[in-house]
Copies of this chain bind each other. A is one copy, B any other.
Amino acid sequence: MPKQVDHRERREAIAHALWRVVEQQGWPRATMREVAREADVSLGQLQHYFSSRASMLTFAMEFAAEQTSSRVTRNLAGLDQPPHARDVLRVVVTEMLPLHPEAHATSRMNAAYVLEALHDPELRVVARVGLREGRDKVEHLIREAMAGGQISTDRDPAIETDLILSLTGLTPLLELGVIEPEAALAAIDQHLDRLFSPGS
């Protein structure tokens, strides 16, 4: 199906253009017109691929989530098999943070989408479902590690899941250059060490 493939490719190219606009000019400038200019297509062509700004933003956000997911999968393949639960969680968390250029783009896209979703019911549903699915995956990993004896069963899996996800709160510190990537990694490792310690 070459036509469908082409359609998907064009949508991905537009999503990349949107990320660049968000990263370089900011969310308020991410209009259909500006994205068309950045993607080097006419506004009419852009509208052929996305009927509305909301559908364009949603595709770009979901594509960002897929890209993050692919990076996680790629990193996991490089670990000893089967990977230790601690290493899996470390990869998941670090790929959500803006620690390298590709993750920068997806992290900013995500932050902007959440902000926009707060006052747009359509985007809100999408953002909520995405975040809930991500949260479920992390909770599943933690429950498995508890069942496998790697995390103490004294822990509350729901609380530990929320604490793992809260590590994305290092993002503004990194983005504004208040801390260096090494400091973020040290904090993540400290948190994981405690989570996987047999004691408390």
Contacts and interface: CB of A to CB of B under 8 A. Distances in A.
Interface in A1-55: 23-28
A183 B96 CA distance: 22
A159, A166, A179, A184: residue with the most chain B Cβ atoms closer than 10 Å = A166
A86 interface: no
For this complex, into which size category does the number of interface residues on chain A fall? 35 or more
Contacts of A91: none
A135 B156 CA distance: 29
Contacts of A166: 166-170, 173, 187
Interface stretch (A61-69, A114-122, A141-149): A114-122
Interface in A92-130: 108, 111-112, 114-120, 124, 127-128
A197 B108 CA distance: 36
A19 B3 CA distance: 46
A56 to B, nearest CB: 14
A171 B162 CA distance: 11
